[in-house]
Amino acid sequence: MIDIRWKAFFFVCTLCVISLFVWLFSTAIYALLFFSSTVLAYLAIQVIDIHALQKWFKKPQLQAVPEGVGLSENIFSALLRYERANQQKKNELNAALERFNTVANAIPDGLVILSESNEIEWCTSNAESQLGLDLKTDLHLPIANLVRNSNFIAYLNSEDYEEPYKLKGVRNTEVILEIWLIALGSKQKLLISRDITQLEKIDSMRRDFIANVSHELRTPLTVVGGFIETLSDMEGAIPENIRNYFSMMQDQTTRMRRLIEDLLTLSHIESNTQPPEDRPIAMQGMVKMLFNDANALSQGKHKISCEFAENLDLLGAVDELQSALGNLVSNAVRYTPTGGTIHISWQQRGKQAVFSVIDNGIGIEQQHISRLTERFYRVDRGRSRETGGTGLGLAIVKHILTRHQAKLEISSELGAGSTFSAIFPAARVVHK
């Protein structure tokens, strides 16, 4: 199509030439009349076109773009091209959005996009059924008004989403959901809900099985151990040449008893999902007791020291924490050769409180450190067994600390020693 400027130029030139001819063959008045009437007719056509355009803008439809004449023809055909490209982009975007919606709704997890103030901006059909939402009516409503669970609301407002939250019985008391919150940029959040009812059932069956087996084994083992002990103590009951078999049997029954006790402790902590009862614990007394226990266990083979911040106490379950911190202390004694040093400390670190056990014992290679809290994970099975270990100690420690929102930090160097620290959050710290 000819450029609009050329078109205007040709029109003016042609009009002038024709007007000149009219002037030449007639009079100047006729030429002027011809010139002005043509210009007026042209202007009228343009006004009609502009009016058509104005009408079109009120109801813009691709099929109804007006066809102009003259200069407006250029503008209208540019408009048509622009509208066509726009429509194509719209179609592509709609197709992409539809594909995204199909994929998002096919994901078995529920997805919800929340605004900065936790209002629902979008969600999938699985999120609707899992969380009892209805996007049509609940759009832009705060999720806390719809999922009414005080712990969930506390989790939502905590802004600490490192660990998922287990939400029970939103629509059905049987259903357990795992909720993950992920920050999307600085304002929005993505909430992912996953139905873990079956997994939880299997896990609870596993826990029950271990607890039941351990419980059932405890009585016969106590009886067998008791008889072995009685026989060993009875003079002349055991011939001297087989006495060492009896002492081996005694060691093994003691080991099995320890294993069963640890398994029972672990399944008790695992099945007890309620947060521990928060009571103030006098940490000065606890640290002193752990120091005395370490000395009794060491039997003078190590140099043991302790220090504590006097005004610093802790909120938590005293029995559980005593068992967890005691485990760290007994590990330090068991994995530090004779003559080594062990230092127990209870100090403030920023707003947090830290219980540390530092030893210069055998240390641990870096590759093992992340796996130490797994059940039965031992760096050296022989040494663990020799020192009366079950391989469950640090698994118990981790569980207890997690229940107290605390973290276990381990740093170690092979042959140089280890530091095990339990770091408690500010909310659990009590200043006397």
Binding site for ligand ADP (CB under 6 A): 331-332, 335, 359, 361-364, 372, 378-380, 384, 389-395, 418
CB of 294 to ligand ADP, least distance (A): 12
- C-beta of 259 vs 283, nearer to ligand ADP: 259
Q: b/e map of 243-282 (b: 16 or more CB within 10 Å)? A: eeebeebeeebeebbebbebbbbbbebbeeeeebeeeebe
Structural Rg of the chain based on CA atoms = 41
Q: Is 116 left (phi over 0), alpha (psi -120 to 50) or beta?
A: alpha
CB of 337 to ligand ADP, least distance (A): 11
Q: Copy the structure tokens of residue 213.
A: 């087996």
- The secondary structure of 280-317 as a DSSP string is EE-HHHHHHHHHHHHHHHHTTSSEEEEEE-TTEEEEE-
In whole angstroms, give the CA distance from residue 269 to residue 275: 10
In whole angstroms, give the CA distance from residue 18 to residue 10: 12
- C-beta of 118 vs 418, nearer to ligand ADP: 418
CB of 165 to ligand ADP, least distance (A): 27
CB of 290 to ligand ADP, least distance (A): 14
- C-beta of 166 vs 343, nearer to ligand ADP: 343
In the three-class reduction of DSSP (H, G, I as helix; E, B as strand; rest coil), residue 115 is classed as: coil
CB of 394 to ligand ADP, least distance (A): 3
Q: Are 165 and 155 in contact (CB under 8 A)?
A: yes
- C-beta of 197 vs 254, nearer to ligand ADP: 254
Residue indicated by tokens 């030449």: 24
In whole angstroms, give the CA distance from residue 183 to residue 189: 4
- C-beta of 92 vs 409, nearer to ligand ADP: 409
CB of 407 to ligand ADP, least distance (A): 16
- C-beta of 197 vs 323, nearer to ligand ADP: 323
Q: How many CB atoms lie within 10 A of CB 76?
A: 19
> CA 295 from chain center: how many Å?
42
Beta bridge partners of 190: 113, 182
Q: Is 218 left (phi over 0), alpha (psi -120 to 50) or beta?
A: alpha
Which ranges constitute the DSSP H helices of 299-432? 318-334, 366-369, 381-386, 393-403
- C-beta of 66 vs 393, nearer to ligand ADP: 393
Residue 400 CB contacts under 8 Å (≥ 6 apart), including other chains: 269, 320, 321, 323, 324
